[in-house]
């Protein structure tokens, strides 16, 4: 091989190797530069709402979370991680005073803590009232009713009726979908670790309309009040019944899924008075009554009244018979009835005297 050709081949190989090394270094440097440009936290972490929190929402462990926030935009009213009073577990059971949108920072003035002035009023939706009912371990679902849950209200009573035999025992669901505001004087069912604490309560405070509050007050004087815990999946079935009864109007001009979500939100936020059901003793046991005991004295009075009516009609019939039939008293048993003139007659009445005269036909 010619020495000149060999030198050219070696030079080409060297140039190719140098080019490959330079290219590798260039791409490696670009990757390192990109890695160095990775975003870093903008500033301190503050509490923000994980979902929309309307007025009256009771804060639970899933309502808030920490999120980095630009340092220059952090205000003094924000809950900053590590700051006193910013522990989310300390905010469980507080109530939203002002509406908060999803992702918006939570300020100290937007939450009301239990025991503070206006706490219960902030927990109430517009136009609603707070009413307290007495419960026991059995009527209060053994302490498994927590603030924020939905319950049905049952009324159990005995109807005597005044007759003989045992009274009628009846239970009816008088109200549905009632929101629990507090149990006893507690509105935070979780402990410091965010776990729910089951305790037997003696009173439960419910959210109600003014009319429903009156009904609950009357129901407590009639019989015993019990609570029935509702499932979170009940809203779908209740929505169909509410639409069928006309309690909720179907939004017009909206997507089906969006309209369904809107109606579910509307339904979940309102207590219901319609669709109450009743169970009597005979529905539970064949040895119980199915109706209110009758009043025997009423039956006697009705019978006596019927006899008096019959006697009065008999007397009136006798008087009419005397007037138009020529006899003052009805014939007694065994006595011959007075004979009536044959043919046409004329009745002449002069005072108390009635005379029936036969008219002979020509």
Q: What is the pTM of this model?
A: 0.52
Mean pLDDT for 172-199 is 72
> For residue 333, what pLDDT band results from cuts at 50, 70 and 90?
very low
- Token look-up 């206006």 returns 118
Instruction: Render pLDDT for 106-164 as a digit per residue (tens, 0 to 9).
Output: 998 888 887 777 777 777 877 888 999 988 877 777 778 888 788 999 999 998 877 77
Residue 8 has pLDDT above 50, yes or no: yes
Whole-number Å distance between alpha carbons of 201 and 185: 9
Give the per-residue pLDDT at 295.
74
> For residue 74, what pLDDT band results from cuts at 50, 70 and 90?
confident
Residue 226 has pLDDT above 60, yes or no: yes
H/E stretch holding 242 reads: helix 235-245
Cα-based distances in Å from 239 to 118, 229, 276:
33, 18, 15
Residue 318, judged by CB atoms within 10 A of its CB (0-12, 13-18, 19+), counts as middle
Mean pLDDT for 301-320 is 53
Q: Spell 75-97 as b/e; 16+ CB within 10 A means b.
A: eeebbbeeeeebebeebbbbbbb
Which is higher by pLDDT, 346 or 75? 75
Residue 266 has pLDDT above 60, yes or no: no
Instruction: Render pLDDT for 37-53 as a digit per residue (tens, 0 to 9).
Output: 445 556 789 999 998 88
- Token look-up 């003139």 returns 341
Residue 9 has pLDDT above 60, yes or no: yes
Name the average pLDDT for the chain. Answer: 74
């Amino acid at each position: 091989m010619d020495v000149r050709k060999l030198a050219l081949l070696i030079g080409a190989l060297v140039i190719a190797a140098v080019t490959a090394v330079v290219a590798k270094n260039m791409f490696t440097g670009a990757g390192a530069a990109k890695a160095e440009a990775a975003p870093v936290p903008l500033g301190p972490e503050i509490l923000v709402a994980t979902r929309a929190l309307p007025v009256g929402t009771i804060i639970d462990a899933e309502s808030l979370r920490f999120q980095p926030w630009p340092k220059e935009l952090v205000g003094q009213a924000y809950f900053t991680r590590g700051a006193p009073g910013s522990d989310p577990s300390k905010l469980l059971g507080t109530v939203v005073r002002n509406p908060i949108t999803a992702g918006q920072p939570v300020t100290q003035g937007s939450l009301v803590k239990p025991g503070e002035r206006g706490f219960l009023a902030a927990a109430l939706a517009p136009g609603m009232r707070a009413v307290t009912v007495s419960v026991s371990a059995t009527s209060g679902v053994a302490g498994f009713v927590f603030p924020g849950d939905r319950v049905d209200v049952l009324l159990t009573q005995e109807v005597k009726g005044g007759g003989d035999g045992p009274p009628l025992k009846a239970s009816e669901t008088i109200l549905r979908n009632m929101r629990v505001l507090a149990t006893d004087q507690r509105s935070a069912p979780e402990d410091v670790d965010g776990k729910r604490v089951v305790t037997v309560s003696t009173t439960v405070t419910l959210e109600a309309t003014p009319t429903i509050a009156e009904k609950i007050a009357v129901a407590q004087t009639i019989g015993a009040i019990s609570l029935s815990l509702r499932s979170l999946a009940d809203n779908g079935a209740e929505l169909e019944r509410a639409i069928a009864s006309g309690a909720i109007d179907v939004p017009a001009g909206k997507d089906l899924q969006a309209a369904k979500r809107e109606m579910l939100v509307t339904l979940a936020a309102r207590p219901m008075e319609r669709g109450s059901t009743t169970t009597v003793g005979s529905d539970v046991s064949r040895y119980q009554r199915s109706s209110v005991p009758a009043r025997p004295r009423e039956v006697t009075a009705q019978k006596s009244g019927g006899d008096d009516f019959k006697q009065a009609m008999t007397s009136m019939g006798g008087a009419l018979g005397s007037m138009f039939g020529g006899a003052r008293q009805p014939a007694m048993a065994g006595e011959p009835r007075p004979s009536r003139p044959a043919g046409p007659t004329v009745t002449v009445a002069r005072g108390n005297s009635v005379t029936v005269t036969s008219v002979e036909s020509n």
